[in-house]
Amino acid sequence: MSVLRFALCAALLGCGSEGTEAPAVTDTGTAVADTSSTTATLGKIKVSVRYTGTRKGQLAIGAFTEPEPKTQPPVTFDTTKSPVFPYQGELRALEPGTYWVIALLDVEPYSGASVRPGTEDRSATSAAVEIKGGEERTVELTIAD
């Protein structure tokens, strides 16, 4: 597992490298699902993240196929080291199914390259989001201090 994929997997899940492989990553930092399916059947989730606090940190958002606790890596994700709120992101290449979106703000003390959620970090989780073939959905999350 590459360092970047392990870092994001750890950031959103706290998972290890044993038997868990994160999806491929494009140079924008967004994971890309298997593209063997036709793109017409793949959906996306537009995510708006608001933050009501004043702390600074790296933001990661991911789409998961299960509610808490997370035992699988995100299907797709988006990260930014210097988010401007409200942050607008997209989770793309989602096959039809049910997803939960998590936004995680890594605040001081920063986790470094391999972001691991700590008690100081802030997060928000969406309700279940159903994606049908080619559908675009919108999720709004608010991270509170």
Distance CA 68, CA 71 (A): 8
Average confidence (pLDDT) per 10 residues, the chain, 145 residues: 40 44 41 52 97 94 89 92 96 97 92 75 96 95 95
> What pLDDT, on a 0 to 100 scale, did the predictor assign at position 117?
79
Distance CA 105, CA 140 (A): 15
- Continuous H helices in the chain: 3-12
Distance CA 109, CA 141 (A): 23
Superfamily per CATH, domain 3-143: Immunoglobulins (2.60.40.10)
Are 103 and 49 contacting, i.e. CB atoms less than 8 angstroms apart?
Answer: yes
Distances (CA, A) of 114 to 2, 6, 36: 11, 7, 30
For the chain, which residues make up each domain, given as ranges?
3-143
> What pLDDT, on a 0 to 100 scale, did the predictor assign at position 77?
93
> What pLDDT, on a 0 to 100 scale, did the predictor assign at position 115?
59
pTM of the model: 0.73
Short-list 114, 143, 127, 145, CA closest to 45: 127
> What pLDDT, on a 0 to 100 scale, did the predictor assign at position 69?
75
